[in-house]
């Protein structure tokens, strides 16, 4: 009996020591005065693609279409760091360049994900796809019924342009993504390489409409899983999509927000105390279990449905592959007997495998 007790206390001591060390490291990673540096401060020569492919998660900083109309999307291709080596703040310090395909607002916009597109229920919307890439690109809008989501019309060879007009008559928060030439390989490869985005079709009335009208801040975050072949590199030394790994093992190398490791640590969501926040979360990877450490979601509009009543007071919400949702909450900074909250809230995929492989971000409440 004494031998078992000794073994128990040995393991318990190791556990407690590990817990203390890990919490010390966690706390030191995000101090109260946390001010995340921008990883790539020099965007390169004027007109060149920005080596930091992270698109700003603040919806007010990205393109929108409040009244419908024509919107140009540029299919671009670039090489950029997926994992920044010794500068990496989360996980192992591997240094990986990757071959990205991107949707941009212009020919030099190589950010991931693609621009956030906002329209109002009933708007007539024209999408013009300009292909600056080296292969065929296309767009499947989940907000479009028929025409394979518009992909039968929005398919352009290298150097060509395609155009498609539709009426956004079903409110929701939707994914859009490239399907290339429509083959299974392209349908998997092109979104994996970064060709994906989100589209909000605002309802004219209802509970979401009321909540949106009261929002102080809006953000969008898109997570995707990456299967990377570090041996099969391009002429520029960039890693490529590993289809065999996806098919045979399904074990991801990275689970990232906004296209790369550390994206939402280097570019945190910034809010103020007591802001009403609307956050749109999309998933182009394995099923995601979205949670914000330090927050409870006041309202959750699941599966992109903005017409139904929201769920209330939710801690973690599941988001299927190729789907999106909206969550609403009020930012809190607490002060009690334990001291003052440092205002750092942490976005995670609560699947520990994805969490450890990159699904982490920061929200700073000032």
Domain boundaries, the chain: 59-204, 225-365
In this prediction, residue 145 carries a pLDDT of 84
Give 223-256 pLDDT, tens digit per residue: 998 889 888 777 678 888 888 888 888 788 888 9
Q: Find all residues with CB under 8 Å of 45, minimum gap 6, and list them.
A: none
Whether 59-204 shares its CATH topology with 225-365 is answered yes
Nearest-angstrom CA–CA distance, 258 and 221? 7
Range with the lowest mean pLDDT among 2-6, 152-156, 174-178, 356-360?
Answer: 2-6
311 sits in the region (left: phi over 0; alpha: psi -120 to 50; else beta) called beta
**CATH class as words, domain 59-204:** mainly beta
Average of per-residue pLDDT across 55-70: 68
Residue whose entry in the numeric block shows the structure tokens 């020569």: 45
Residue 88: pLDDT band (50, 70, 90) is low
pLDDT above 70: residue 319? yes
Query: Would the pLDDT of 157 be above 50?
Result: yes
Ranges of H-type helices in 66-217: 184-192, 207-213
Q: What is the pLDDT of residues 264-315, one digit of tens each?
A: 998 999 999 889 999 999 999 888 999 998 889 999 999 999 999 999 999 9
Hey, what CATH topology would domain 225-365 get? Immunoglobulin-like (2.60.40)
Give the contacts of 157 (CB within 8 A, at least 6 positions apart).
131, 136
Maximum pairwise Cα distance, the chain: 78
So what's the pLDDT on residue 93? 55
pLDDT band at 53 (very low <50, low <70, confident <90, very high): confident
Which stretches within 38-77 are classed as H helix?
A: none
Question: How far apart (Å, rounded) are the C-alpha atoms in residues 66 and 93?
Answer: 42
pLDDT of 44 higher than 60 = no
280-294 burial, b for 16+ CB within 10 Å, e for fewer? bbbbbbbebbbbbeb
Q: Does residue 84 have a pLDDT over 70? A: no
Helix (H) or strand (E) run with residue 282 in it: strand 276-283
Please report, rounded to a whole number, the percentage of residues in the chain having pLDDT higher than 90. Answer: 44
For 119, the token pair is 């329209």
Q: What angle do CA 110, 184, 172 make, to 5 degrees?
A: 60
What percentage of residues in the chain have a pLDDT greater than 70?
Answer: 79
Give the count of alpha carbons within 13 A of 184, CB side only. Answer: 4
Question: At residue 8, does pLDDT exceed 50?
Answer: no
Measured distance CA(228)–CA(191) in Å, rounded: 13
Output phi, psi for 187, to 5 deg: -60, -35
- Note the pLDDT of residue 24: 36
Please tell me the predicted confidence (pLDDT) of residue 89: 52
* Stretch 168-184: mean pLDDT: 92
Place of tokens 């592959």: 321
* DSSP label of 150: G
Mean pLDDT on 127-145: 93
């Amino acid at each position: 009996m004494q031998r078992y007790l000794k073994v128990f206390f040995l393991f318990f001591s190791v556990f407690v020591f590990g817990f203390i060390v890990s919490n010390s490291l966690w706390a030191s990673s995000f101090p109260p005065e946390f001010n995340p540096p921008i990883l790539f401060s020099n965007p390169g020569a004027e007109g060149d693609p920005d080596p930091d492919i992270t698109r700003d998660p603040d919806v007010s900083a990205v393109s929108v279409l409040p009244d419908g109309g024509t919107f140009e999307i540029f299919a671009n291709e670039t090489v950029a760091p997926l994992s920044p080596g010794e500068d990496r703040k989360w996980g192992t310090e591997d240094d990986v360049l990757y071959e990205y395909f991107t949707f941009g607002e212009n020919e030099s916009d190589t950010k991931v994900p693609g621009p956030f597109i906002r329209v109002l229920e009933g708007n007539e919307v024209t999408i013009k796809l300009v292909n600056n890439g080296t292969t065929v690109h296309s767009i499947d809008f989940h907000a479009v019924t028929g025409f394979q989501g518009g992909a039968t019309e929005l398919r352009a060879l290298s150097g060509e342009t395609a155009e498609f007009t539709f009426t956004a008559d079903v409110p929701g928060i939707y994914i859009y993504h490239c399907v290339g030439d429509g083959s299974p390989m392209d349908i998997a490869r092109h979104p994996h390489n970064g060709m994906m985005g989100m589209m909000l079709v605002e309802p004219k009335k209802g509970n979401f409409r009321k909540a949106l009208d009261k929002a102080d801040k809006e953000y969008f975050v898109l997570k995707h899983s990456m299967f990377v072949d570090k041996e099969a590199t391009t002429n520029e030394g960039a890693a490529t999509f590993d289809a065999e790994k996806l098919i045979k093992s399904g074990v991801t190398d990275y689970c990232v927000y906004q296209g790369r490791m550390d994206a939402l640590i280097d570019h945190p969501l910034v809010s103020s105390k007591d802001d009403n926040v609307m956050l749109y979360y999309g998933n182009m990877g394995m099923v995601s279990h979205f949670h914000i450490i330090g927050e409870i979601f006041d309202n959750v509009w699941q599966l992109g449905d903005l017409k139904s009543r929201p769920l209330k007071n939710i801690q973690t919400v599941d988001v299927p592959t190729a789907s999106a949702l909206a969550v609403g909450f009020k930012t809190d900074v607490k002060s009690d007997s334990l001291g003052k909250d440092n205002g750092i809230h942490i976005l995670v995929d609560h699947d520990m495998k994805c969490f450890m492989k990159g699904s982490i971000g920061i929200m700073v409440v000032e």
